[in-house]
């Protein structure tokens, strides 16, 4: 009896060679954008102490409350009875790890201004659906050490630049808001609770089940509920901007002004409250509206309190993360990127040179030559399945190689090789010593 074949886990994907072409293009675009503004790459571990995320994202956030991939720590013999209580969690996002690495590296003392970026997998135990996976890639930037609203605008413009370089146009929206300073949010939270109480604390609440739950945990999240009835019920809710202190208000105005100075037209959106607890002042999202309720391609904002909250010196910071999954969906809808942008990556899947041995005795020399040409940096392939010369030529054509190099007894005796251009179907015989120069010319 054959066993059920094992498949990949729900909410994950295999990226096979041709799927990776687009991912590699997203990665190199991200790298180019980040480096253009002097952000440097960091790589932090894929898993961290669970309490890092509990402390930074907030116990009440959906991510911490429901979506963490956590494994218990192994209790070593002789360890204290509490040793196994904390676990390790596969990172659901990159900001907490970046802040931890910033504190651990002691940057606040010697080089407080740090501009970092990362590209890598994140893990959230969500219900998989269009644009949402359990393992997904984020490109993020995090800038530590400056509280300027102009830096917030720089960060937004980098996110925009990523999408513009991919070919996005007018459909892309920048939505901005402010979460004020902690004291503002405290007052606002009390006012929101007063406002929403009669909608939630009644039998058969008119709000959705998520809102009823979030009312206690994180009342701000009622404002970003996507259920039409809840959106209606949000009409008239207290506005943070009416309560906000002068400094946070000025910060927001300067941020919006700096964006328009850079030629961007942000949309003020008071429903952006973000799902993670660490935000202060600036928050923003980039949306591609045709993707509907899952249109967010990028989310970010300022988190001036996080580093101090985690035990570091008070250090302002701002950043964003872009999800590759929704980006891929939006690109597919827009029929982007243009084929020419991916042509070099597709080409790299094929050999440039396929080496053909006419007879069995020629194989050792073919292998030696293949090895030498690879050391020159050319992508070379040859046959290991004892195929006939005719079948090797077929393989060469199938592999989409540009050139075939042919070695037979005659060529070996004369220290020569036949170079066949498979595009033009032209061939020439050359001395082995002249081969590198000819290949450089033909493959330029
Ligand atoms: P976030 O809004 O939770 O923010 O995630 C950022 C982006 O990651 C989302 O806009 C979405 O594109 C993508 N994303 C999130 N969850 C999934 C999923 N399950 N499947 C596919 N894509 C997903 C953060 O993660 C913050 N760390 C952003 C940040 C950086 N704030 C300041 N610095």
- Each residue of 365-387: pLDDT tens digit? 999 999 999 999 999 999 999 99
Nearest CA to ligand 1 atom 30: 320
Q: Which of 323, 327, 331 to mutate to test the pocket of ligand 1 (most atoms within 8 A of CB)?
A: 323
Question: Residue 280 corresponds to which tokens in the numbers above?
Answer: 């202060």
Question: Does 47 lie in the same domain as 94?
Answer: yes
- Which has more pLDDT, 21 or 292? 21
What's the pLDDT score for residue 409?
Answer: 97
Closest CA to 168 of 31, 331, 287, 30: 331
Weakest mean pLDDT among 102-106, 275-279, 363-367 = 275-279
**Centroid of ligand 1 to alpha carbon of 5 (angstroms):** 33
Among 340, 370, 389, identify where a domain stops.
340
Kindly write down the DSSP assignment for every residue of 33-70, as one continuous string: HHHHTT-EE----SEEEHHHHHHHH-TTSHHHHH--EE
CB 98 within 8 A of CB 319: yes
The CATH number of residue 384's host domain is: 3.40.50.800
List strands edge to edge, sheet with 403-407.
Answer: 380-382, 353-357, 403-407, 416-421, 426-431
Statement: residue 9 has pLDDT above 80 = yes
Statement: residue 169 has pLDDT above 90 = no
Nearest CA to ligand 1 atom 11: 323
Q: pLDDT-based confidence at 78, cuts 50/70/90?
A: confident
What's the pLDDT score for residue 3?
Answer: 86
> Per the domain annotation, does 12 fall within a domain?
no
- For residue 138, which atom of ligand 1 is closest to its CA? 8
Q: What is the DSSP letter of 278?
A: T
Among 226, 242, 258, identify where a domain stops.
242
**Centroid of ligand 1 to alpha carbon of 251 (angstroms):** 24
- pLDDT, mean of residues 345-361: 97
> Per the domain annotation, does 384 fall within a domain?
yes
CB 284 within 8 A of CB 149: no
Expressed as residue numbers, the domain containing 236 is 182-242
Question: Does 214 lie in the same domain as 65?
Answer: no
> Per the domain annotation, does 223 fall within a domain?
yes
Q: Name every protein residue with a CB atom under 6 angstroms from any ligand 1 atom.
A: 93-95, 124, 126, 132-133, 136, 138, 140, 142, 275, 296-301, 319-321, 323, 325-326
Question: Does 201 lie in the same domain as 86?
Answer: no
- For residue 132, which atom of ligand 1 is closest to its CA? 20
What's the pLDDT score for residue 1?
Answer: 60
**Centroid of ligand 1 to alpha carbon of 215 (angstroms):** 22
Reported as a single tens digit per residue, the pLDDT across 13-71 is 999 999 999 999 999 999 999 999 999 999 999 999 999 999 999 988 999 999 999 99
**Cβ partners under 8 Å of residue 246, min gap 6:** none
Statement: residue 84 has pLDDT above 60 = no
> Per the domain annotation, does 368 fall within a domain?
yes
Nearest CA to ligand 1 atom 15: 323
Question: Does 364 lie in the same domain as 419?
Answer: yes
For 138, 166, 388, 424, the CA distances from 396, given in Å and listed in that order, are 38, 33, 12, 14
Question: Does 320 lie in the same domain as 208?
Answer: no
Q: Which of 23, 152, 321, 328 to mutate to test the pocket of ligand 1 (most atoms within 8 A of CB)?
A: 321
**Centroid of ligand 1 to alpha carbon of 340 (angstroms):** 29
Question: Does 140 lie in the same domain as 60?
Answer: yes
Q: Say if residue 337 is preceded by a cis peptide, omega within 30 of 0.
A: yes
Total domain count for the chain? 3
Which residue in this structure is represented by tokens 């501009």?
Answer: 115
What's the pLDDT score for residue 271?
Answer: 92
Question: Residue 62 corresponds to which tokens in the numbers above?
Answer: 């959906």
The CATH number of residue 90's host domain is: 3.30.930.10
> Per the domain annotation, does 106 fall within a domain?
yes
**Centroid of ligand 1 to alpha carbon of 122 (angstroms):** 9
Per-residue b/e over 105-142, b at no fewer than 16 CB within 10 Å?
A: eebbeeeeebbbbbbbebbbebeeeebebbbbbbbbbb
- pLDDT, mean of residues 382-399: 98
What's the pLDDT score for residue 75?
Answer: 81
**What average pLDDT is seen over the chain?**
95
Statement: residue 102 has pLDDT above 90 = yes
Closest CA to 226 of 212, 210, 214, 213: 210
Burial class (CB in 10 A: 0-12, 13-18, 19+), 431: exposed
Closest CA to 345 of 12, 29, 37: 29
**Centroid of ligand 1 to alpha carbon of 93 (angstroms):** 7
CB 302 within 8 A of CB 281: yes
> Per the domain annotation, does 2 fall within a domain?
no
Statement: residue 82 has pLDDT above 80 = no
Question: Does 59 lie in the same domain as 148?
Answer: yes
Percent of the chain predicted with pLDDT > 90: 89
CB 178 within 8 A of CB 186: no
- For residue 133, which atom of ligand 1 is closest to its CA? 20
Reported as a single tens digit per residue, the pLDDT across 224-278 is 898 999 999 999 999 999 999 999 999 999 999 999 999 999 999 999 999 898 9
Percent of the chain predicted with pLDDT > 70: 98
Closest CA to 363 of 355, 354, 373: 355
Question: Does 97 lie in the same domain as 188?
Answer: no
Cα angle for residues 101, 103, 109 (degrees, 5° grid):
130
Question: Does 276 lie in the same domain as 221?
Answer: no
CB 393 within 8 A of CB 433: no
Among 320, 340, 360, identify where a domain stops.
340
> Per the domain annotation, does 75 fall within a domain?
yes
Cα angle for residues 334, 175, 302 (degrees, 5° grid):
120
What's the pLDDT score for residue 68?
Answer: 96
> Per the domain annotation, does 58 fall within a domain?
yes
- For residue 285, which atom of ligand 1 is closest to its CA? 10
d(CA 57, CA 72): 20
Question: Does 299 lie in the same domain as 200?
Answer: no
Nearest CA to ligand 1 atom 25: 93
What's the pLDDT score for residue 80?
Answer: 73
User: Quick count: other Cβ atoms within 10 Å of Cβ 322?
Assistant: 25
**Centroid of ligand 1 to alpha carbon of 297 (angstroms):** 8
**Centroid of ligand 1 to alpha carbon of 299 (angstroms):** 6
Question: Does 375 lie in the same domain as 424?
Answer: yes
Reported as a single tens digit per residue, the pLDDT across 113-168 is 999 999 999 999 999 999 999 999 999 999 999 999 999 999 999 999 999 999 99
CB 138 within 8 A of CB 96: no
Question: Does 369 lie in the same domain as 309?
Answer: no
CB 175 within 8 A of CB 269: yes
Nearest CA to ligand 1 atom 8: 323
């Amino acid at each position: 009896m054959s066993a059920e074949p094992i498949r990949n886990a729900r909410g994950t994907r295999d990226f096979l060679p041709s799927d990776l072409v687009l991912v590699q293009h997203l990665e190199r675009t991200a790298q180019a954008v980040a480096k253009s503004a002097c952000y440097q790459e960091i790589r932090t571990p894929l898993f961290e102490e669970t309490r890092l995320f509990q402390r930074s994202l907030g116990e009440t956030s959906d991510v911490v409350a429901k979506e963490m991939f956590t494994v218990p720590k192994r209790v070593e013999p002789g360890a204290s009875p509490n040793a196994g209580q904390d676990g390790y969690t596969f990172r659901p996002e990159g900001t907490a790890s970046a802040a931890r690495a910033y504190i651990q590296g002691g940057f606040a003392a010697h080089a407080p201004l740090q501009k970092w970026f990362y590209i890598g997998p994140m893990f959230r135990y969500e219900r998989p659906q269009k644009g949402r996976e359990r393992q997904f890639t984020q490109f993020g930037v995090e800038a530590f050490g400056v509280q300027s609203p102009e830096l917030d605008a720089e960060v937004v413009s980098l996110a925009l630049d990523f999408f513009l370089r991919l070919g996005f146009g007018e459909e892309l929206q920048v939505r901005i808001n402010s979460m004020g300073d902690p004291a503002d949010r405290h007052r606002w939270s009390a006012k929101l609770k007063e406002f929403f109480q009669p909608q939630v604390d009644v039998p058969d609440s008119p709000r959705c089940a998520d809102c009823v739950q979030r009312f206690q945990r994180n009342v701000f999240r009622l404002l970003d509920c996507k259920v039409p009835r809840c959106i209606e019920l949000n009409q008239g809710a207290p506005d943070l901007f009416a309560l906000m202190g002068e400094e946070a208000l000025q910060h927001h105005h300067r941020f919006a002004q700096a964006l328009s100075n850079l030629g961007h037209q942000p949309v003020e959106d008071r429903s952006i409250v973000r799902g993670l607890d660490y935000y202060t002042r600036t928050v923003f999202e980039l949306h591609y509206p045709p993707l509907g309720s899952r249109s967010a391609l990028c989310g970010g904002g300022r988190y001036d309190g996080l580093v101090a909250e985690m035990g570091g010196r008070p250090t302002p910071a701002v950043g964003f993360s872009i999800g590759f999954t929704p980006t891929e969906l939006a690109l597919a809808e827009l029929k982007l990127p243009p084929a020419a942008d991916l042509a070099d990556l597709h080409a790299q899947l094929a050999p440039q040179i396929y080496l053909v041995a006419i007879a069995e005795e020629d194989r050792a020399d073919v292998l030696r030559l293949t090895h030498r040409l690879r050391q020159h940096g050319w992508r070379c392939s040859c046959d290991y399945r004892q195929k006939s010369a005719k079948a090797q030529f077929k393989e060469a054509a199938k592999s989409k190689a540009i050139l075939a190099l042919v070695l037979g007894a005659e060529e070996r005796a004369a220290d020569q090789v036949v170079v066949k251009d498979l595009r033009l179907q032209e061939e020439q015989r050359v001395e082995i010593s002249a081969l590198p120069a000819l290949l450089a010319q033909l493959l330029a």
